[in-house]
Amino acid sequence: MKTAIAIAAHPDDIELMMAGTLLLLKKAGYDIHYMNLASGNVGSIENDSDTTKKIRLQEAQKAAQILGAHFHPPICNDLEILYDLSTLRQLAAVIRQVKPSIVLTHSPEDYMEDHTNTCRLAVTAAFARGMPNFETVPNCRAESYDCTIYHALPHTLRNQLRRKMQAGAFVNTTTVQETKLEALKAHQSQQSWLDVSQKMNSYLQAMHDIAMAVGKMSKKFEYAEGWRRHLHFGFCNADDDPLKDLGSDYLINEEYEKSLE
């Protein structure tokens, strides 16, 4: 069976920027997996770290269940996602266990380091999938296979220097927008936190607005998620683009492609 995994930093990041594509891949016959590297333990102004961690774990598990995805537990805490050997060995083990042909992860450019470090870790963990001399924790057998990496747009649709980011391709999430919303609703603890910490008056409305803005960017879809495909070296063939399995729900941005020439 074809397999896809979404690897994000915090509980609710997948729902905000990646879950629609994950749902459509499931409809297209993929076995889908869901992993946040961090526990979400600092995402509260009401509860202590341990309590928050327990709450957010339950919320993330419920969200993954709504999406119909296999859940993988976090391996570190918020603001502790570091590009270090210990974290890399653990994530590489997950990659070797799942054997994904598609990895969905954060943009290399985003507003916070947890996101960008998650991106770096996901890329390197996938790169090491077939290297038997790189040890994972737990130890898992290395295997070589084609794996295509896609980077989501940053949460604000801008990089950390305020420049607007363009997608290389768009996925039409209109038909799964309600399910995506239900999965995001599972993260109930985040309403007050995001109001205070990031001025999101409603995290549900924020997701709706982002999806609509990306849909407008596509010039075709009402709601969409945007993706940029990682360079193929060390991962797959130059022309591999398995999101094409989504058929008419997948639109390549020809202007972006021409800008790469």
- Are 125 and 92 in contact by the 8 Å Cβ rule? The answer is yes
Which class in CATH covers the domain with range 3-256? alpha beta
The token duo for 252 is 């390549």
What tens-digit pLDDT sequence spans the chain (261 residues)?
A: 899 999 999 999 999 999 999 999 999 999 999 999 999 999 887 889 999 999 999 999 999 999 999 999 999 999 999 999 999 999 999 999 999 999 999 999 999 999 999 999 999 999 999 999 999 999 999 999 999 999 999 999 999 999 999 999 999 999 999 999 999 989 988 766 555 555 444 778 888 999 999 999 999 999 999 999 999 999 999 999 999 999 999 999 999 999 998
Secondary structure (DSSP) of the chain: --EEEEEESSTTHHHHHTHHHHHHHHHTT-EEEEEESB--TT--SSS-HHHHHHHHHHHHHHHHHHHT-EEE---B-TT-----HHHHHHHHHHHHHH--SEEEE--SS-SSHHHHHHHHHHHHHHHGGG-TTS--SS---------EEEEEPPTTSB-TTS-B---SEEEE-GGGHHHHHHHHHT-TTHHHHHHHHH--S-HHHHHHHHHHHHHHHHTS-SSEEEEEEPP-TTTS-TT--GGGGGGGGEEE-HHHHHHT-
**Domain edges within the chain:** 3-256
Of 75, 100, 89, 99, the residue nearest 135 (C-alpha): 89
The per-residue pLDDT for 200 is 47
pTM here is 0.95
H or E segment to which residue 130 belongs:
none
The per-residue pLDDT for 201 is 47
H or E segment to which residue 1 belongs:
none
The per-residue pLDDT for 196 is 53
The token duo for 143 is 């295997």
